[in-house]
């Protein structure tokens, strides 16, 4: 395990570890926790951060054990880059084996709460306005199959050890302020099913700070009034949360 930034201990603060921290989502995800938590960020690629940052491969169980050591909370947000079809075994190694390693290491460390960044694709290929809330993970292609496996692993960890887990089934990740998607492409029109990357961080924090969490698999979309997306309505209601972006805001953002 390589420490890029050797930060001083955050005395009195809960410590939370994030994987996939160098990615488009990862770089925004942890921002919602800054100031109130001690952060440890990790990725397979070297990256700079003002927080404690660690380089390593989650497919290595011994790395995961060292990464988790001393942490109170876990956020699993790493993802095998596309295209999956060119290396399907690597996709399962990173997404599935990596998640299994992290959850098992977290159990060993005694971590009581975790958040898994999943995908709406575990419900097949749903229409964003269809109601898929409560649907078990199934997958319909290689990517969604690996994400479904991640949810199965997380739920098994909850059943076996009592670890409380929020599996966030997020939509298509964008940044409204930058008007970019996760691949760096500009988007010219608002599309149903998008989720702002900063919203994901806000929702993750709200779930991890609930008095009682249990196991929850919940959809997360942005740019909508709660009633417009039946799958996401339970998330809005359960957390008493609403995206900072309404549909009108999103259309104005794209048109700007």
| Rounded to 5°, angle at Cα 73 from 67 and 77 | 70
pTM confidence score = 0.91
The single residue listed with the structure tokens 């995961």 is: 64
pLDDT at 227: 65
Residue 160 in this model has a pLDDT that exceeds 60: yes
Q: Which string of DSSP letters, residue by residue, matches 115-161? A: EEEEEGGGGSS--TTS--TTPPP--SSHHHHHHHHHHHHHHHHHHHH
Residues in Cβ contact with 78 at an 8 Å cutoff, skipping those fewer than 6 apart? 19, 20, 23, 26, 43, 44, 58, 94, 95, 98
223-228 average pLDDT score: 65
- 202 contacts 241 by C-beta, under 8 angstroms: yes
| Rounded to 5°, angle at Cα 32 from 26 and 37 | 100
pLDDT at 41: 97
Residue 162 region, left (φ>0) first, then alpha (ψ -120 to 50), else beta? left
The total number of residues shown for the chain amounts to 256
pLDDT at 140: 85
Question: Higher confidence at residue 190 or residue 201?
Answer: 201
The single residue listed with the structure tokens 């994987």 is: 19
Summarised one tens digit per residue, pLDDT across range 22-80 is 999 999 999 999 999 999 999 999 998 999 999 999 999 999 999 999 999 999 999 98
How far is 124 from 136, CA to CA, in rounded Å?
10
Q: Could you give the number of structural domains in the chain? A: 1
Summarised one tens digit per residue, pLDDT across range 55-66 is 999 999 999 999
Full domain range(s) for residue 103: 2-255
Summarised one tens digit per residue, pLDDT across range 92-130 is 999 999 999 999 999 999 999 999 999 999 988 656 667
pLDDT at 128: 62
In CATH, what number is assigned to the domain containing residue 61? 3.40.50.720
Distance of CA 39 to the CA centre of its chain: 15
Give me the phi and psi of 5, to 5 degrees please.
-120, 120
Residue 249 in this model has a pLDDT that exceeds 90: no
Residue 146 in this model has a pLDDT that exceeds 90: yes
Question: Higher confidence at residue 10 or residue 43?
Answer: 43
């Amino acid at each position: 395990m390589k420490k890029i930034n050797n930060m001083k201990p955050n005395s009195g603060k809960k410590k939370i570890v994030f994987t996939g921290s160098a990615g488009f989502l990862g770089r925004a995800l942890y921002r919602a926790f800054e100031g109130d938590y001690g952060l440890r960020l990790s990725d397979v690629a070297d990256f700079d951060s003002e927080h404690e940052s660690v380089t390593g491969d989650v497919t290595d169980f011994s790395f995961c054990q060292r990464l988790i050591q001393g942490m109170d909370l876990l956020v699993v947000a790493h993802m095998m880059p596309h295209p999956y079809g060119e290396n399907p075994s690597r996709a399962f190694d990173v997404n599935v084996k990596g998640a299994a390693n992290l959850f098992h290491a977290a159990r060993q460390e005694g971590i009581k709460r975790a958040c898994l960044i999943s995908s709406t694709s575990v419900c097949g290929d749903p229409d964003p306005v269809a109601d898929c809330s409560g649907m078990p993970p199934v997958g319909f292609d290689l990517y969604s199959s690996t994400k479904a496996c991640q949810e199965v692993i997380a739920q098994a960890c909850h059943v076996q050890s009592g670890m409380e887990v929020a599996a966030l089934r997020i939509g298509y990740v964008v940044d409204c302020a930058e008007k970019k998607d996760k691949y760096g492409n500009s988007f010219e029109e608002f599309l149903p099913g998008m989720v702002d990357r900063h919203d994901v961080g806000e929702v993750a924090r709200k779930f991890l700070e609930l008095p009682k969490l249990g196991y929850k698999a919940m959809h997360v979309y942005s740019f909508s009034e709660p009633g417009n997306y039946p799958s996401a309505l339970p998330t809005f209601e359960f957390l008493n949360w609403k995206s900072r972006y309404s549909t009108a805001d999103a259309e104005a953002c794209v048109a700007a």
